[in-house]
Amino acid sequence: MTMQRRIVLLFAVVVAGGSLALTTGYALHMRSDGHRRETELELSNFFQLPCELSRIRGMTFSSRAFEDVVIHLPDRRDRLFTCKKAIWHEEKSGGELINRLELRDGILMLGSDRWHREDYRKVFESGLGHDFAELNLKRVDLTGFEFGFRRGDLVLNCKDASGVVDMDGDDEGVARLRVSIKRLPGRRGRFDQCPI
């Protein structure tokens, strides 16, 4: 083998090996417990509510999946939000970096007997009190979601919800929902008597 071919072969091995090492390092960092705890802290600070993640996986260099996401009320009195998988996508469109979020198989509680009066304001501010333009978040896709409210005799559930929240311009978000309203067995009461 000539010297030139040896140099080309060595260069190819270094480039391929470096690429594999970089990819492996990225994947190991994404899956590390330290990165998971750091991300939990960042999310808790962002929402001003306690957050938990069971695992983070790097899907590509521009998207990552967060598994078993849980957001609690203050003092972890109740689960506000759970999601089996949340996938954060970073994409380029027209030279601009845009972000998209996929939420799969989750529950969003809108109230329960464990909520205090001030929790409603806290939850509203944590969800809508952010500058989403600063995050470049343009779209949220929901699949297999349940929205629930349980207070006294009143139980409201919206199951198997799927839809899109489009934050790109003045377009309306579109959602298709199937709603079931039921009372707890053996309970009597009127909707207007439910303390909220």
Domain-embedded: residue 6: no
Give me the pLDDT at residue 24, please.
53
Domain-embedded: residue 13: no
Calculate what percentage of the chain has a pLDDT beyond 70: 67
Give me the pLDDT at residue 193, please.
39
Determine the Cα angle at 148 with ends 79 and 99, to 5°: 70
Q: How confident is the model at residue 105 (pLDDT cuts 50, 70, 90)?
A: very high
The answer to whether the predicted template modeling score (pTM) of the entire model surpasses 0.85 is no
5-14, 117-126, 148-157, 169-178, range with the lowest pLDDT: 169-178
Give me the pLDDT at residue 86, please.
95
Domain-embedded: residue 24: no
Determine contact, residues 145/103, Cβ cutoff 8 Å.
yes
Q: How confident is the model at residue 174 (pLDDT cuts 50, 70, 90)?
A: very low
Domain-embedded: residue 120: yes
Give me the pLDDT at residue 176, please.
43
**Residue range 53-74, pLDDT digits in tens:** 999 988 777 788 999 999 999 8
Domain-embedded: residue 26: no
Determine contact, residues 66/86, Cβ cutoff 8 Å.
yes
Which residue did the predictor score with more confidence, 26 or 165? 165
**Residue range 78-104, pLDDT digits in tens:** 899 999 999 999 888 777 788 899 999
Quote the number of domains for the chain: 1
What's the rounded Cα separation, in Å, for the pair 106 and 81?
Answer: 7
The domain in which residue 147 lies consists of 32-193
Calculate what percentage of the chain has a pLDDT beyond 90: 20
3-state secondary structure 98-158: EEEEEEEEEEEECCCCCCCHHHHHHHHHHHHCCCHHHHCEEEEEEEEEEEEEEECCEEEEE
How confident is the model over 25-43, as a mean pLDDT? 76
Domain-embedded: residue 140: yes
Domain-embedded: residue 63: yes
Domain-embedded: residue 19: no
